[in-house]
Structure 1
């Protein structure tokens, strides 16, 4: 009995050692298999994610990003091109608002009267024109009108040098001077203009310009605002003022009427009193150098 018990005990210990050995051998194999399986699943998921949504490329040099074969393979079946992502909708707070439109420019304020004193433009220029009598003129602006005498003189100088003007077509030469002038162009308030024009028997009613013994009187209202009958800007109407009054200065005494409906009004027509079917015009000549005339008014 003792030997059998010892033998059984020995066989039991041998089986226990073999079981322990099997467990020690099987455990690492199982763990290795599990790790390999997890790595395989992770790699497949990562590849599938990359194929479905390739990483965006930053375009730093202004060129379009290159399209790889894998990116082409991700094209949508309907269009054959990558499916565009939908841009987020703007919220009312981020929606761009239109900029306010600029306010319309207001008409300049015209003082009804002034002190009756004038400031002369201290500037001079070259003679304009190639033939005819040289007439030197000085420009003066009534004080307190906010009109620069120098700027007004420069503008009048340009008007008299216009290709459709008197000087460019042989009707005389004109030169801006600051002293020793042959005639003076004065820009005056309506009340002062009326006084200067009335001195030679002309009633301008606070609205009109005139020619006097000394030279030309320009009503400030007309200089700044133009005329309600003239289809053009005040700057264009200033051409008509100067050309009309200088026309008197060079010897054209009589006014003209409209030569016919739709035709340009002569510069010697009193266009502020109505056009009678003519078209507004601020120059003595047309583009071809033809003098624009009409019947005596």
Structure 2
């Protein structure tokens, strides 16, 4: 009994020493710890890829793979500063803005009426052409913003043109400021109608005419030209002067179109339609041939 008791006491002391020491992890527990560590590393790598790497991959069915979420999302990338031009380079020119519709040039406004009084152009010149001397003066209705001096200079050039009346033996024309044989007046539509109606001509606020005193030019035609004339208003003024002065020198009858594609005679009322002709502002062509048509 004493030996057995002693043996039992020895075994009890050895077990007590083993129980007081640290136990080593068993196999299943160790395997579980390794798996948890690997999952932590994989989640961290995936989160880093979503924040700073390329966009998420696309699944086979075309839908985006949902990114991993984070408690503190990465900050928005700041915009890159615009590069400043170097000392040896010039900045790119900015494109010019397209002009707005309001920037387009508008036709000049034409007053419908005026006071009926006129300013005489105080200018004179030498006679141009050959034949009978015809002195003329230019008057412009007051308050219409047309210079009498400038209008007179323009008319003087028209009458002395190589394709005009003076250059082709139909008279000598001289600009004067007094003692004129006839007068060329530029008047508002209402005043022009009144002057033309005095000789029985109804110009309807649109047309020019020739009276016993001379030529009446409708301001609307002087400034705007004609919708049937293929040229600028300045070119149409040539037709106005040549047509009305043609009446002044004795050509009483109007002419029609001589044929399709032919230049319209200057004595044709081109504002009423060209009838197949081409608009023309001169009584003669470059060869000095008179441009005529059938009488109307």
How many pairs are equivalent? 208
Q: Distance in 2 between matches of 1:216 and 1:173?
A: 17
Cα offset, 1:94, TM superposition:
4.1
1:133-166, Cα deviation, whole Å (9 max, x unpaired): 1000000000010000000000000000111000
Give the match for residue 120 of structure 1.
120
Cα offset, 1:89, TM superposition:
9.3
Q: Which moved more, 1:147-156 or 1:99-108?
A: 99-108
TM-score, structure 2 normalization:
0.68
Distance 1:90 1:188, change over 3 A: same
Equivalent residues in 2 for 1:171-190, closer than 5 Å: 171-190=170-189
**In the alignment, does 2:194 pair up with 1:199?**
no
Cα offset, 1:105, TM superposition:
2.2
**In the alignment, does 2:93 pair up with 1:96?**
yes
Q: Distance in 1 between matches of 2:124 and 2:249?
A: 20
TM-score, structure 1 normalization:
0.68
Equivalent residues in 2 for 1:1-297, closer than 5 Å: 94-100=91-97, 103-129=103-129, 131-297=130-296
Higher Rg = 2
Q: Distance in 1 between matches of 2:260 and 2:84?
A: 60
Q: Distance in 1 between matches of 2:168 and 2:85?
A: 64
Cα offset, 1:101, TM superposition:
6.3
Unmatched runs of 5 consecutive residues or more in structure 2: 1-82
Q: Distance in 2 between matches of 1:156 and 1:233?
A: 16
Cα RMSD (Å): 1.8
1:96-138, Cα deviation, whole Å (9 max, x unpaired): 1234567432211100000000000000000011x21100000
Distance 1:89 1:262, change over 3 A: farther
Unmatched runs of 5 consecutive residues or more in structure 1: 1-87
Runs of 4+ in 1 over 6 A off after TM superposition: 88-91
Cα offset, 1:90, TM superposition:
6.9
